[in-house]
Amino acid sequence: MPKQHGKAGEKTGDWMKIELSAPLEMIDALNNFMTEIGAQGAFQENMGPLSSNGPPEPVSGEVLKAFLPFDVRLEQRLAALRIYIDSLTEIFPELEKPGFRTEIIRDPDWGEAWKKYFKPLRVSRNIVIKPTWERFSPAGREIVIEIDPGMAFGTGQHPSTRMCLEAIDEILLKERPVEQWRVLDVGTGTGILGIACAKLGAGRVLCVDNDEQATEIARENVRINRVEDRVTVAGRNVADLTESFHLIVANLTAKILIEFYPHLVRLARPGGYLVISGILEQNKPDIEARFAGDSFPIRRLITEKEWVCYLLKKAGDRP
C-alpha cells in the first residue's frame, strides 16, 4: 500500500470505500478497471442486493469492494468509474446496470488494516500465492509465490492468471527435468507467471512488458521471491526477440494475442508449449481460427466463469 502524503486537497489517512454491485459477467472488468484507476485492496464478495441506501434500483449478483486514496484525484477517478459503467451497459444491454455506493473510511491505520482481506491462495495443485505479510509452510512439492497485492494488478485472483498457473504447473511437472528450458512471459505485469516458472524448475525465464511501471513491479517481485538468478525482466517488444523458447506464456487479450500470433509461432521451439489466456469465451472462435491447427494443436482447454485458457503444443519432438 503506497504511503499517503499530505498534499494540498488530500486527507491523510482517509480512504473512500467503493462498493460495486453488478452482474457476474461484469465483475472481472470492473475489478480490472478499479485497479487501473488506483484502487488498493480490491476484493470480491458473493452478496445479495445493496440495502435501501444504495442505488435506487439495486442489482443482484456479485459485490466488488475497492478502496481509493482520498486525494486530489478522487473526483476524477469517480467520474471515470461512472463513464466506464455507462460503457459496460452499452456493451451488455441485456444485463442490469451496475450500481455503487461510497463510504469514507476515516482510519489512519487502514493502510495496514485492509490487508486482512488477503490470505494465502491455492491456484493449482502445487502453487500457492500469498501476500508478503502472511505465513505459509509449504508441504511436499508445493511452491509459494510472494506478492504484495497493494503494488499492482496480477495477484492471482483473476481467473485468467489462475488458469495460466494451472497450465504452467502441469507442463513443467510433466516435462521434468526442465533446468535447461528457456521460458518467455509476454506482458508480464507483476511477473507472477515468470516467477512460477522459475520456482517450478525452469532454468531461464525472460519476462517482457512495454509498461515501465509493470517492469519495475515485476523486478521487485522477482527480488522478493529470490529468483533473480533465473528471471530477467525487460522492457522489450516481443517483435524484437530472436531466440526460441521451450515454453511461452501470454496472458493478454484476444485482440493482442491475435496480433502477436506470428511472433509467438516464430519464437516457440519445435515441440514447445504455448499457454495463452485473458480470452473471453465469446472470442474463442477468433482465437481458434488463428492459433489452432496442425502446427499448434490444442492440448487442453481450461475454463473458469466466462474466461478461457489454451494450452497448445507446437508440432515437433520434445522441446
Distance CA(25)–CA(95), nearest Å, equals 9
Grid coordinates standing for 161? 492468471
What pLDDT does 47 receive? 43
Peptide bond into 177 cis (omega under 30): yes
What pLDDT does 214 receive? 79
Residues of the chain with pLDDT under 70: 1-13, 41, 45-61, 107-114, 117, 149-157, 318
Burial per residue of 34-62, b for 16 or more beta-carbon CB atoms within 10 angstroms, e otherwise: bbebbbbbbebeeeeebeeeeeeebbebb
What pLDDT does 316 receive? 80
Extended strands (E) in the chain: 14-22, 40-46, 62-69, 99-106, 121-122, 127-131, 143-147, 182-186, 204-208, 231-234, 245-251, 268-280, 298-304, 307-313
**What tens digit of pLDDT does each residue of 80-131 get?**
899 989 988 888 888 899 999 999 887 666 666 667 767 788 889 899 998 8
Identity of the residue numbered 255: K
What pLDDT does 4 receive? 35
Helices marked H in the chain — which ranges? 24-36, 74-91, 110-113, 159-174, 192-199, 212-224, 254-267, 284-290
What pLDDT does 52 receive? 34
What pLDDT does 149 receive? 58
What pLDDT does 250 receive? 96
Q: Domains in the chain, start-ordered, CATH in brackets?
A: 14-114 (3.30.70.120), 118-313 (3.40.50.150)
What pLDDT does 8 receive? 35
Assessment of whether the complete model's pTM goes beyond 0.75: no
Distance CA(80)–CA(232), nearest Å, equals 35
What pLDDT does 38 receive? 75
